[in-house]
Structure 1
């Protein structure tokens, strides 16, 4: 009998160009056409940091240093089907256009909180901008 393990999804907050890096989901199903933070499944043989950096690169074309990713929250989805590791990269520098894989239809930089495809992502976006406000005051 095999184990029915809960997969780990690594989601990355990437400060860039004075805002926060976001992707518009292209895959059919939950959240299609809506904004989300870049992220995806941790594959066997990868650390969570390596998975986060890989997903950001695949979904946006932005390179982040895996070793510099900092864990900010761990959540389990309401349906208890996935564990989400939310982390943050140091501010990224990326000149030129963004590039993305087939899972993404658009890469954007937001400069204020928005409602995303997933409530847990929305909470992280709000937290990201709230922490920036605290830093300025």
Structure 2
């Protein structure tokens, strides 16, 4: 029987919030620990990419977004060709009160200008968002 080594899909979500952009500070050990990133994660078997994106935003930030409202901004493959990244954006959302996050996140925050992130592709998307190129 053939054995396949498929490239996983990661859904990364740009969430406009409070006149800025929703970001997380990563708690996962290894690459990117303690650095900023956009919310996102792996698409699980049985989920649409939209459902995966909405689930990751909820788990990592406590912010509820509508899966059907997500729109693809761009699709990239990481330079090492190990992951496909679907960058998508939600319409602006309202979220009152504190953020809630899982153990993969140290902090949830809203940025109001381009920032350096843990990953070059995230940094490019954040910059494009604030340049209104998205």
Q: How does 1:25-36 map to 2 (within 5 A)?
A: 25-36=26-37
RMSD, aligned α-carbons: 1.1
Structure 1 segments, 4+ long, off by >2 Å, are: none
Structure 1 gaps of 5+ residues are none
Q: Say if 2:16 is the partner of 1:15.
A: yes
Cα distance, 1:69 vs structure 2: 0.1
Q: Give the secondary-structure state (helix, strand or coil) at the position aligned to 1:74.
A: strand
Show the counterpart of 1:74: 75
Q: Normalising to structure 1: TM-score of the pair?
A: 0.95
Aligned residue in 2 for 1:109: 110
Q: How many aligned residue pairs are there? A: 133
Query: Which stretches in structure 2 are left out of the alignment for 5+ residues?
Result: none
Residue 56 of structure 2 is matched in structure 1 by 55
Structure 1 partner of 2:89: 88
Equivalent residue for 2:99? 98
Instruction: Report the 3-state secondary structure (helix = DSSP H, G, I; strand = E; otherwise coil) of the residue aligned with 2:132.
Output: helix
